[in-house]
Amino acid sequence: MIWKCWILLFIIIFTGLIDNTRQEKQDDDDDQADVLVLTVASNETDGYKRYIRSAKIYGFANKITTLGLNQPWKGGNMLTQGGGYKINLLKKALKPYQNDDEKIIIFTDSYDVIFLASLNEIVNRFKASGGRIIFSAEKYCWPDKSLSNKYPTIIRGEPYLNSGGFIGYASDLYEILQYSSVKDTDDDQLFYTKAYLDKELREKHKIKLDHHAEIFQNLNGAVGDVELRFKDNKAYLQNTLYDRVPLIVHGNGPSKIILNSLGNYLANAWKTYPPIVMGIFVDRPTPFIEEFFDKIYKQAYPKSRLRLFIYNSEEFHEKIVEEFIKKHGSEYKNIKQIMPKNDIPISTARNLAMDYCLQNECSGYFSIDSVAHLENEYTLKLLVEQQRGIVAPLLKRPGNNWSNFWGTIANDGYYARSTDYMDIIENKRRGLWNVPYINNCYLINVTIIGNIETRPKYKHADIDDLDPDMAFAAINRDRNIFMYVSNRLKFGHLVNADDYNIKYTNPDMYELFNNKFDWEKRYIHVNYSQSFQQNNTPIQPCTDVYWFPIFNTRFTKEFIEIMEAFGQWSDGSNSDKRLQGGYENVPTRDIHMNQVYYEKHWLYILKEYVRPLQELVFLGYFHDPPRSLMNFVVRYKPDEQPSLRPHHDSSTYTINIALNQVGVDYEGGGCRFLRYDCAVTDTKPGWMLMHPGRLTHYHEGLKVTRGTRYIMISFVDP
């Protein structure tokens, strides 16, 4: 999703910077003497030039014949229907080959088509298809929708014919072009569609559709199916829906805009990836560090052009850093690492990272701290394109005014808010801003680092106790080196590491308040929000018992780990010192939220994530915030407490969240509602049962026969 948004803006903002002129002949297709590439263009538009250029890149521009060039277009208005003219031109062009059943004809549009591969590859895939004619396929049945039910049924794939690209043997193609006469202003796609839907013709000429984008990728309606990816400094198009790498891309219909932006990269249009050293600094315990490294990894910049300098001073994070290096280290050009045991202060490390950059003939130095999450995979590339001495992407804490730059500086050298600060962080004004202070993430050009007069410093000569970030910015200001921050696009956000308490087991679980955005991404079930969609009917396994996905399995796993690490399960007797009265009528083996310091979080979860679900199913009951005195995790196991006798809860409604997997972690178990003689036994981790507490929903906990079952219970609004 993100790339779609940036890519649109991208066209507007950055096209000027892209080098479209590079051409590279890849392989000679001399062995493809029997192939003719045909297209129609009346004008040498930019789109046409792009098409020819892409063929040049892949070494077969000399194979292209352009029909109708510099002649008046007679094919009607292509925005509605038309294009029969293309067929008539093609008929004429194929006449000399009408009996040639070996010559392969590749026909495509030109203004909105880019070749992504050599002629060899295209022809090989055509041959592998087993057809004698193959048309590209798309999601929409156009121009005559009513023909859609005449198509042969397929199980999976793009169903309908698109005539913007096809390949076939000359004799077969020539014959289907005679199928019926066609006026210049008739619709060409309609013509080919009818030919294809004629079963006899279809079978005779083995006409196929390229349902899975083996060769042709039509973009209309399929933008979400494709991803721009990079390998060896080169961009390619990946169809993630069918797991294919298509060889010809067509921006049919309204997808031309997307094609234009993809065209900035495809067919080697963009390949200036200067070598960069990425300085990664983990100098404090930081929540959501896995995601941080994940986003570093996902930066769409060729890893062969990146060297990493990883500084970590926190033992707590060693495991994650090591895992990252073990898993991905070899993909990068090189990695240099500073570990906690090296005991190097961060200002020194920042200097070493710049040295490392200079030693390795870098073009830029990209410094990033562990709180800076780059959701936009193109961040580094976009920063490079800014061609500034020092430039940062704007990052801010979600739901907060805290960002990685200051709009102005007070007389004492500290933070002050500029008049435009709010407009900038809220993206009401977009641009590249010259600012007096940046931190956490920025790119510095090597020309600045390489010159002793301008090389950044993290220690102020006069002010001893200035923190390294403050010193960095202050020295740049003193030297009149501009620091820019860009909010031209959305790049990512900052995590708040201030009160991160690593004494807890799975401390990220406790970050609900400080880092709600990341917490939700990490722990809330991906389908949580589906329950709120209009056409959604809540699942009701028993009368007035509802069932919702709420947490993912990462949550349930870490939650159990928290409980087991704490380990002080109650003894299952009626006397319970944790309760006000000291007496529990229906005791379980459990741990209360407040025992693991999760009570406050849990009440917030009830308010934020549980209550809205309740309001969906128990209509007319509003209680915000929900109250709950009893929030606990129960453990059932055969040799401890395997089941719970029938009882009512002291609640208006009760929630019961499965934390592990029946059939895997344990056998048996479940909840049975006696009045309805209805049991829910196939519970799923992270799914929540919600049922009334009293009178109607007398229930019991069914016996666990093997393993250990964990559930989370709250008695809401007692």
Ligand X SMILES: *[C@@H]1O[C@H](CO)[C@@H](O)[C@H](O)[C@H]1NC(C)=O
Percentages of the chain per state (helix, strand, coil), in multiples of 5: 35, 25, 40
**Residue with the closest Cβ to ligand X?**
364
With respect to ligand X, which residue has the nearer C-beta, 381 or 672?
381
Stretch 5-24 residues interacting with ligand X (CB under 6 A):
none
Q: Which is nearer to ligand X, 32 or 376 (CB)?
A: 376
The 509-528 contact track toward ligand X, x by CB under 6 A, reads -----------------xx-
Q: How far is the CB of 401 from ligand X (least distance, A)?
A: 4
376/403 with CB nearer ligand X:
403
Nearer to ligand X, 178 or 427 (CB): 427
Q: Rounded to whole angstroms, how far apart are CA atoms 133 and 135?
A: 7
Sequence-distant (6+) residues with CB within 8 A of 569 are 589, 590, 591, 635
- Closest distance of CB 399 from ligand X, Å: 6
- Per CB under 6 A, which region of 252-260, 283-291, 441-449, 532-540 contacts ligand X? 441-449
Q: Taking CB under 6 A as the criterion, which residues in 521-580 touch ligand X? A: 526-527
- Kindly report the backbone phi and psi dihedral angles of residue 434, in degrees, each rounded to the nearest multiple of 5, phi listed first: -85, 115
Query: Rounded to the nearest whole angstrom, what is the least distance from the CB of residue 22 to ligand X in the complex?
Result: 15
Distance between CA atoms of residues 554 and 559, nearest Å:
8
Q: Which of 26, 49, 73, 667 binds ligand X (CB under 6 A)?
A: 73
**Burial of residue 363 (number of CB atoms within 10 Å: 0-12, 13-18, 19+):** middle
Instruction: Give the residue, chosen from 148, 434, 447, 536, that forms a contact with ligand X under the rule CB under 6 A.
Output: 447
Closest CA to 576 of 564, 590, 562: 590
Q: Say how many CA atoms lie within 13 Å of 4 toward its Cβ.
A: 9
One of 23, 71, 180, 401 touching ligand X (CB under 6 A): 401
Q: Does 77 bind ligand X (CB under 6 A)?
A: no
Q: Contact letters (x/-) for ligand X, 377-396, by CB under 6 A?
A: -------x--x---------
Residue 297 touches ligand X, criterion: CB under 6 A: no
| 446 neighbors 362 (Cβ within 8 angstroms) | yes
Complex with ligand X: residue 347 or 527, whichever CB lies closer: 527
Tell me, rounded to whole angstroms, the distance of Cα 718 from its chain centroid: 42
Secondary structure class of 404 (helix, strand, coil): coil
| Selected binder of ligand X within 71, 400, 434, 574 (CB under 6 A) | 400
CB of 36 to ligand X, least distance (A): 23
User: Contact region for ligand X (CB under 6 A) — 117-125, 290-298, 442-450, 488-496?
Assistant: 442-450
Q: Using the 8-state DSSP alphabet, how is residue 508 labeled? A: G
Residue 82 Cβ vs ligand X, minimum distance, rounded to whole Å: 11
- Which among 368, 599, 373, 397 is positioned nearest to 514, based on CA atoms? 397
**What minimum distance in Å lies between the beta carbon of 385 and ligand X?**
8
Binding mask 344-363 for ligand X (x = CB under 6 A): -------------------x
Write down the least CB distance from residue 89 to ligand X, Å. 14
Q: Which of 445, 515, 531, 656 binds ligand X (CB under 6 A)?
A: 445
Stretch that binds ligand X, among 132-140, 313-321, 443-451, 499-507 (CB under 6 A): 443-451
Contact 689, 648 (CB under 8 A): no
Considering beta carbons, is residue 533 or 580 the nearer one to ligand X?
533
DSSP state of 662: B
Least CB distance to ligand X at residue 98 (A): 29
Position among 5, 154, 422, 579 found at the interface with ligand X (CB under 6 A) = 422
Radius of gyration of the chain (CA): 32
Using DSSP's 3-state secondary structure scheme, residue 642 falls into: coil
What is the dihedral sign for C-alpha 175, 181, 186, 190? negative
Enumerate residues 6+ apart whose C-beta is below 8 A from 111. Answer: 41, 45, 47, 48, 51
By CB under 6 A, what part of segment 37-56 binds ligand X?
A: 42-43
Residue-wise DSSP of 111-166: TTEEE-S-HHHHHHHHHHH--SEEEEEESS--S-GGGGGGSPP-SSS--EEEEEEE
- The alpha carbon of 498 is separated from its chain's Cα centroid by a whole number of angstroms, namely 27
* Contact region with ligand X (CB under 6 A), list: 243-251, 342-350, 445-453, 502-510: 445-453
Interaction between residue 274 and ligand X (CB under 6 A): yes
Q: How many CB atoms lie within 10 A of CB 452?
A: 6
What does the alpha-carbon distance between residue 439 and residue 473 come to, in Å, rounded to a whole number?
A: 8
Give residue 669's identity as a one-letter amino acid code: G
Residue 98 burial (CB < 10 Å; 0-12/13-18/19+)? middle
- Tokens representing 568 are 């002080």
- Choose between 50 and 202: whose C-beta lies nearer to ligand X: 50
Least CB distance to ligand X at residue 364 (A): 3
What does the binding site for ligand X look like in residue numbers (CB under 6 A)?
42-43, 73, 274, 363-364, 384, 387, 400-401, 422, 445-447, 526-527
